[in-house]
Amino acid sequence: MAKIGFIGLGNMGGPMAANLVKAGHQVKVFDLSDQAIETLVAKGAQGAADVAACVQDVAVVISMLPASQHVESLYLGDDCLLKQIARDTLVIDSSTIAPESARKVAEAAVINGLPMIDAPVSGGTAGAEAGTLTFIVGGATEALETARPFLEEMGKNIFHAGDSGAGQVAKICNNMLLGVLMAGTAEALQLGVANGLDPKVLSDIMAQSSGRNWALELYNPYPGVMEGSAASRDYQGGFMVDLMSKDMGLAMQAAVSTQSSTPMGSLALSLYKQQQSKGKGQLDFSSIMQLFQQNGPL
Amino acid sequence: MAKIGFIGLGNMGGPMAANLVKAGHQVKVFDLSDQAIETLVAKGAQGAADVAACVQDVAVVISMLPASQHVESLYLGDDCLLKQIARDTLVIDSSTIAPESARKVAEAAVINGLPMIDAPVSGGTAGAEAGTLTFIVGGATEALETARPFLEEMGKNIFHAGDSGAGQVAKICNNMLLGVLMAGTAEALQLGVANGLDPKVLSDIMAQSSGRNWALELYNPYPGVMEGSAASRDYQGGFMVDLMSKDMGLAMQAAVSTQSSTPMGSLALSLYKQQQSKGKGQLDFSSIMQLFQQNGPL
Amino acid sequence: MAKIGFIGLGNMGGPMAANLVKAGHQVKVFDLSDQAIETLVAKGAQGAADVAACVQDVAVVISMLPASQHVESLYLGDDCLLKQIARDTLVIDSSTIAPESARKVAEAAVINGLPMIDAPVSGGTAGAEAGTLTFIVGGATEALETARPFLEEMGKNIFHAGDSGAGQVAKICNNMLLGVLMAGTAEALQLGVANGLDPKVLSDIMAQSSGRNWALELYNPYPGVMEGSAASRDYQGGFMVDLMSKDMGLAMQAAVSTQSSTPMGSLALSLYKQQQSKGKGQLDFSSIMQLFQQNGPL
Amino acid sequence: MAKIGFIGLGNMGGPMAANLVKAGHQVKVFDLSDQAIETLVAKGAQGAADVAACVQDVAVVISMLPASQHVESLYLGDDCLLKQIARDTLVIDSSTIAPESARKVAEAAVINGLPMIDAPVSGGTAGAEAGTLTFIVGGATEALETARPFLEEMGKNIFHAGDSGAGQVAKICNNMLLGVLMAGTAEALQLGVANGLDPKVLSDIMAQSSGRNWALELYNPYPGVMEGSAASRDYQGGFMVDLMSKDMGLAMQAAVSTQSSTPMGSLALSLYKQQQSKGKGQLDFSSIMQLFQQNGPL
C-alpha cells in the first residue's frame, strides 16, 4: 500500500479519495473546506494542515481542482508546490483544464524531477463514488504505468491519449462532440414530435439506425422516453449545463489557439449558454431539450 | 407468390425489384429508361409499356422515385394512376419525399379504396442489392402487415413509425441527426489533430466514451483511421453529399412548416451545401471532413 | 384615371387599395372577408362578388395574398383566373411568395397575353397606410413602366431587380440579411452589457463604426435604447416574428433549390423559430433580443 | 509639446508614433526590432535602448502590442515596468486585448499612481498612416481628457465606452458584429446570384432597404461590385482574416467568461477559421465570400 497526498475534495475529489482509502492506501488530504477534510478523515484519511503538509512524505500526489488557474496556482504559484515535493514522486492531475495549462505544469514538474500525468475523468459524481470513472491520460507511458494501479482503484477505463496535455485534449474533444450529439438529438426528437411522431417510437427507430449515438441511447433528452433519465426527473441532477459549458469553453479556447474551425461545437455551446443565461445552468445538460420543445417550459 | 407492379428502376429501385423477382414473384416493371427495364427483364421481370400497364392485374404496386413531385405526379397527375389501380391493391411508396406529399397521396389512395404505406429505406445501393435495407414505414398497421412479406424480401429491418407520412418523418429526422453526427465528429477529430492527437487514438477513446455515435464508429470521416471507409478511398462512393442535402432539405421543409427550431441541422446542411457549391456533391457525405482539415484539399 | 381590380384586402392590401381609391382610380375590390370589402366600399371602392367579377373590365389587376399557394391557386387554379382577364391587362402581384411560384404564374400570364410583374413590398402596415412602401419588382421593363404610376400611389421607392421572380428573390435576400443583422446586433449588445457596457453607449459607438447597420440604427432591439422602438414597448406591434420566419423560410427554400450555402441565415431562422415555438410569434422580430438577455423574460 | 515614450512600432504603432513626431512631440521609441526603431529615428524620434529607458522622463507612455500576454508581460512582468514609470505619468495602451487583461493592468497602474486608459483603435494601417484612426476608450474621464490631444494627433474619432476595459469590450463587440455583417452579406449576395440576380443590382437594392449595413455599403465582398474594394483586387490587402479571427476570438473569450450566448458571432468565427485553415488567413476578411461562391476559388 502507498502513501498518497490528495488535494481537492469536492464532489468528484471527495469520493475519489475515499476509494483510495477504501483500497487500503494511507491518504493525506487537503481542501480549502475544513468540512471536506473532516468527511474524509471520518472515512480513514489523514487531514493535512496545508498543501505543503499534504505532499510531504508521499509516493503519489493527486489533485482534483475546478479550473486551469487553480492548478497553475497550486503547482506554479507563489509557494511553487512542485519544489516542495520529493524528487520522483508521481504527480497526477485529474482536473479538467486547458491543455496548455496542463503542458505548462507538466513541463515544470519534469524539470523538478517529478513524473506527471494529466488524467481528467468522465463518469460524473456517480462514477466517482462507484469507482467506475474513465481516465483519459496524457503523459509518458512510464508515468501512466506507475499511476495505473491507483487509477484502477478510482476508475474502470483508462485511455492513453498521448503526451502531456493529450488527456485534456481528448476529453474536451469528446465533450464538445457530446454537446453536439445532445443538441442534435434534442432537435431531431422535437422535429419528429412536431410532425406527429411519438418520441419513444422515433427514439427506438433512430437508435437502431444511423442516428444512433450515446445521448440518444443512454441519456435521452425527451421527458418520459427513458426511465431514470434526467429528462424524466425535470432535468435535476446529472451533468450540469454549467459543466458542459465549461468543457466546451475549453474546446473553444483550444480551437482559437489552433485556428480550428468548429461550427457545430460553437453553435451547441451558444445553446447551452442560452440555458445558462436563463438561470438554468444547474440543470442537467439534456435540458437543452427545453430550447426546442414547443409550449414547453420557457 | 404474388403479382407485383414496380415503378422506378434506378440505383435503388432496380436491385429492389430484382430481389422480388429472385424471391419468385411475378414482377411487372416500368421506368422511363428502356435500358433499366431491359436489365430487369433479363433477370426475369416482365416489362410494361407504361405505368398504367404496369399496375394492371397486380396485387401490389411499389414505387421508388426521386422526389415529391414525381410521386405526386405519378399517382395524382393528369392520368391519376390511383384511379387505374384495382380496389384493395396494396400500394407501397419507397421514395424519400416530403411527409405532406406522402400524406396527400395516401389520403387519395384510401379514398380510392387502396391501402397505402410510405416506406422509405436506408441502407444505400449496397443494401438494396444485398436485400438488407431498412424500411421505415408510415401507414395503417394492417397495410404494413400485408406489405411485410414483400418488404422482407428486400430488406432486413422494418420499423413502424406511425400513420401515413410517419415513415418519411422518421427517416428525415434520422438523416438530419446523422448529418449532425458526421459534421460534429469531423470537427471534433480535427480539433484533436490540430492539438496534437492521433486521429485513430482519439477515435478509439471517443468511441468508448460519451462521444460515441454511428458516424464515428462505422463511418469514420478521417482519412486512414478506418479501413474500407469512404474517407480511406478519397470519399469516392458511399452516400453522396447531394443525397444528404436532399434529405436534410426535406427536414428543413418539415421544420419550417411546423415552426420547429433546428439550429444544428440547419447549420450542418449549410456545410454540406458548401461542399456542393464547390462541385463536390458526388463525394461521400463524410467528405465534410475536408471543410475542417487544415491544409487539406480545397 | 384607371380601372383597377384589387384582390386581397388584408392588413397590407386594404390600405394599399385605399390609397389607389384616394388617388382617384376606380377600384373594384375582392376579399374572402365581406367586412374587408365593406371597409373599402365605405372608402369609395366598388365591391366585387367574386374574383371573376373583380377582374372584368379593368386595366390593371393587383393581388396581395398571404402565400405561394394562394397566388398559384388564384391565377392558375380550377377557374384559372388568367383566362378570364382581358388580353393586355397588366397584372401586378405584390404578395411575398417563392420566386419559382412567381415565375410560374408570370409565364402563364404571358402565355395568356398578360404582362405581369412580381412586386413584393417592404415597409409594413405603416408604410401601406402612409403610401410609402418600397416595391421590389421583377418582370419586363415595359410592364414595370406601365405599373409605375400605380405603384407610386402606394409607395415611395421602386426598385427593378430583374426578370420575373427577381423581385421576390431580392426581397427574400434582403429580409434574410435583415434577420441576420437583427440577431447579430442583439447578441453584440448583450455581450457588451454582460461585460459592463451601457447599451446606449455601445449602440452609439457601433453605429458610428463598422458595426453600423439598419437594425442597430433604426430598430435597436435593446429595451430603452431607442425611443419609439418595438423594444421600448415590450416588442408589441412592428414586424412580427411569424412574418420574418415566413420570409426567411422562403429564403431557405430558394437556398435548397439552388444548393446555396446560407449558414448565417439558417441559424438566424432557427433563432426566430425558437421564439415562435415559445408562443412569441406575434411579437416584433427584434424580440429575438430575449433569447440573449440574461435574467430577462424567458 | 510633450515628451512621449512609445513602445511597439509594428504596422500600426510605427505610423502612430510617426504622427506624434510630426505633430512636434519629443518621442522616445522602443521595439524589439532595431530596424523598426531606426525607421522612426529617421523620422525624428529618439531611440531607446530598452523599455525602461523608453519610459524615463516622459509625460505619456503609449503602447501598441500584438496581444494580451505582451501587454501583461510588459507592464506586470518580471521587470514590472509600471514601477519604473514616474507617478502621474499617463499610460495609454492601444493594443487590442482581452478586457480582463486591460482591467488587470489598469488596476495595477492606478495602484502605482498612474492614470491609465485602454484605447484600442479601428481604421487599419491606412488610418494609422493618415492619422484618421478611431479610438474606443475605457478608463476615467479625467485620464481620457489628458490623453485626448495626443489621440487627436493620431486619430479622428474618439469614443468613451466606460471604465477600464470598456474600450476593449466595445471594440470586440463591434468587430464581432462586423464579422457577422460581412458573413451575412456575403451569403445573401450569393443567394441572390444563384437565383439569377445581378450582384450589383441586389447590392443597390439592399443598401437602400433594411439589409443596409457597413459591410454591404463600404466593403462589398462580391468581386466587381465595388471599385477599389478588397473583393475587386482578389482580396489582397485590407483587414486580414487572421486579425478578424483574433478579435472575434477575444469576443468568444469575453462571452465564455460572462456566460453570454453568441450563436451568430460563434458561427461567423468558425467560417473565418475555415478560411484560415485553408491557408487564407492573410486575405482580406471579405474573402469569406469564397466560402459561398459557387464554382469560385476553392
The per-residue pLDDT for C297 is 47
Query: Does the CB of D266 have a partner CB in chain B at under 8 Å?
Result: no
Catalytic residue among A28, A171, A246, A280: A171
> CA-CA distance, B117 to B77, in Å (whole number)?
19
The per-residue pLDDT for B124 is 87
Which pLDDT tens digit goes with each residue over A197-228?
A: 999 999 999 999 999 999 999 999 999 999 99
Catalytic residue among D28, D104, D171, D280: D171
The per-residue pLDDT for C296 is 54
> CA-CA distance, C126 to C133, in Å (whole number)?
9
The per-residue pLDDT for B237 is 85
Which pLDDT tens digit goes with each residue over C273-283?
A: 999 988 999 99
Amino acid at D91: V
pTM: 0.92
Residues of chain B contacting residue D241, judged by C-beta atoms under 8 Å apart? none
> CA-CA distance, B125 to B129, in Å (whole number)?
6
The per-residue pLDDT for A297 is 46
The per-residue pLDDT for B297 is 46
Grid cell, residue B289, equals: 471532413
Which pLDDT tens digit goes with each residue over A132-149?
A: 999 999 999 999 999 999
pLDDT band of residue C191 (cuts 50, 70, 90) is very high
Cβ pair B228, B286 in contact under 8 A = no
Q: How many CB pairs under 8 A join B and D?
A: 24
The per-residue pLDDT for D296 is 54
> CA-CA distance, C210 to C203, in Å (whole number)?
12
Query: Does pLDDT of A295 surpass 70?
Result: no
Grid cell, residue A34, equals: 475544513
> CA-CA distance, C32 to C17, in Å (whole number)?
15
Which pLDDT tens digit goes with each residue over A262-287?
A: 999 999 999 999 999 889 999 999 99
Residues of chain D with pLDDT under 70: 295-298
For A31, phi then psi, to 5°, come to: -155, 160
Grid cell, residue D153, equals: 494627433
Q: Is C42 exposed, middle or buried (0-12, 13-18, 19+ CB in 10 A)?
A: exposed
Which pLDDT tens digit goes with each residue over C212-223?
A: 999 999 999 999
Shortest distance between the Cα of D192 and any Cα of chain B, in A, equals 14
Contact D196 C166 (CB under 8 A): yes
Contact A267 D269 (CB under 8 A): no
Q: Which helix (H) or strand (E) holds A26?
A: strand A26-30
Residues of chain C contacting residue A291, judged by C-beta atoms under 8 Å apart? 274
The per-residue pLDDT for D237 is 85
Which pLDDT tens digit goes with each residue over A97-137?
A: 999 999 999 999 999 999 999 999 998 888 999 999 999 99
Which pLDDT tens digit goes with each residue over B211-260?
A: 999 999 999 999 999 999 999 999 998 899 999 999 999 999 999 889 99
Residues of chain B contacting residue D295, judged by C-beta atoms under 8 Å apart? 277-279
Which pLDDT tens digit goes with each residue over D211-268?
A: 999 999 999 999 999 999 999 999 998 899 999 999 999 999 999 889 999 999 999 9
Query: Does the CB of D195 have a partner CB in chain B at under 8 Å?
Result: no
D188 Cα distance to chain centroid: 27
Q: How many CB pairs under 8 A join B and C?
A: 62
Nearest Cα neighbor of D260 from A249, C217, A98 is A249
Contact C196 D271 (CB under 8 A): no
**Other CB atoms within 10 A of residue D84 CB:** 14
Closest chain C residue by Cα to residue A279: C295
Cβ pair B51, B73 in contact under 8 A = no
Query: Does the CB of A294 have a partner CB in chain B at under 8 Å?
Result: yes
Which pLDDT tens digit goes with each residue over C111-159?
A: 999 999 999 999 888 899 999 999 999 999 999 999 999 999 999 999 9
The per-residue pLDDT for B298 is 43
Nearest Cα neighbor of C220 from C243, C238, C237, C203 is C203
Q: How many CA atoms lie within 13 A of D155 on its CB side?
A: 22
The per-residue pLDDT for D75 is 97
The per-residue pLDDT for A185 is 98
The per-residue pLDDT for C78 is 79
D146 vs A189, D60, D99, CA distance in Å?
Answer: 60, 10, 22
Shortest distance between the Cα of B273 and any Cα of chain A, in A, equals 14
Three-class HEC string of A177-192: HHHHHHHHHHHHHHHH
Q: Is B282 exposed, middle or buried (0-12, 13-18, 19+ CB in 10 A)?
A: middle
CA angle D14, D15, D16 (to 5 degrees): 90
Q: Give me the mean pLDDT over the C91-100 stretch.
A: 97
Query: Does the CB of A282 have a partner CB in chain D at under 8 Å?
Result: no
Q: Which residues of C are catalytic?
A: 171
The per-residue pLDDT for C157 is 95
Shortest distance between the Cα of A36 and any Cα of chain B, in A, equals 30
The per-residue pLDDT for C71 is 97
- Select from A249, A252, A261 the Cβ nearest to the Cβ of D274: A261
Query: Does the CB of D263 have a partner CB in chain B at under 8 Å?
Result: yes
Which pLDDT tens digit goes with each residue over B91-119?
A: 999 999 999 999 999 999 999 999 999 99
Query: Does the CB of C196 have a partner CB in chain B at under 8 Å?
Result: no
Q: Provide the percentage of residues in chain D whose pLDDT is more than 70.
A: 99
Query: Does pLDDT of C259 surpass 80?
Result: yes
Q: Between residues 114 and 133 of chain D, which touch chain B (CB distance below 8 Å)?
A: none
Q: List all chains that touch chain C, counting a touch as 3 or more CB pairs closer than 8 Å.
A: A, B, D
Dihedral of CA atoms A186, A187, A193, A199 in degrees, nearest 10, equals -20
Best A97, A178, A181, A286 residue to mutate vs chain B (most B CBs within 10 Å)? A181
Nearest Cα neighbor of A117 from A127, A128, A103, A133 is A103
pLDDT band of residue A296 (cuts 50, 70, 90) is low
Residues of chain C contacting residue D264, judged by C-beta atoms under 8 Å apart? 180, 183-184, 187, 264, 267-268
The per-residue pLDDT for C124 is 87
The per-residue pLDDT for B296 is 53
pLDDT band of residue C237 (cuts 50, 70, 90) is confident
- DSSP for C55-107, written as a single string: TTT-SEEEE--SSHHHHHHHHHSTT-GGGGSPTT-EEEE-S---HHHHHHHHH
The per-residue pLDDT for D267 is 96
The per-residue pLDDT for A237 is 85
Nearest Cα neighbor of C210 from D127, B55, B16 is D127
Query: Does the CB of D294 have a partner CB in chain B at under 8 Å?
Result: yes
Q: Is residue D280 annotated as a catalytic residue, yes or no?
A: no
> CA-CA distance, C68 to B86, in Å (whole number)?
35
Q: CB-based contacts of B294: which residues, under 8 Å, 6+ apart?
A: A259, A260, B190, B194, D277, D278
Which pLDDT tens digit goes with each residue over B1-19?
A: 899 999 999 999 999 999 9
Three-class HEC string of chain D: CCEEEEECCCCCHHHHHHHHHHCCCEEEEECCCHHHHHHHHHCCCEECCCHHHHCCCCCEEEECCCCHHHHHHHHHCCCCHHHHCCCCCEEEECCCCCHHHHHHHHHHHHHCCCCEEECCEECHHHHHHHCCEEEEEECCHHHHHHHHHHHHHHEEEEEEEECCCHHHHHHHHHHHHHHHHHHHHHHHHHHHHHCCCCHHHHHHHHHCCCCCEHHHHHCCCCCCCCCCCHHHHCCCCCCEHHHHHHHHHHHHHHHHHCCCCCHHHHHHHHHHHHHHHCCCCCCEHHHHHHHHCCCCCC
> CA-CA distance, A173 to A179, in Å (whole number)?
10
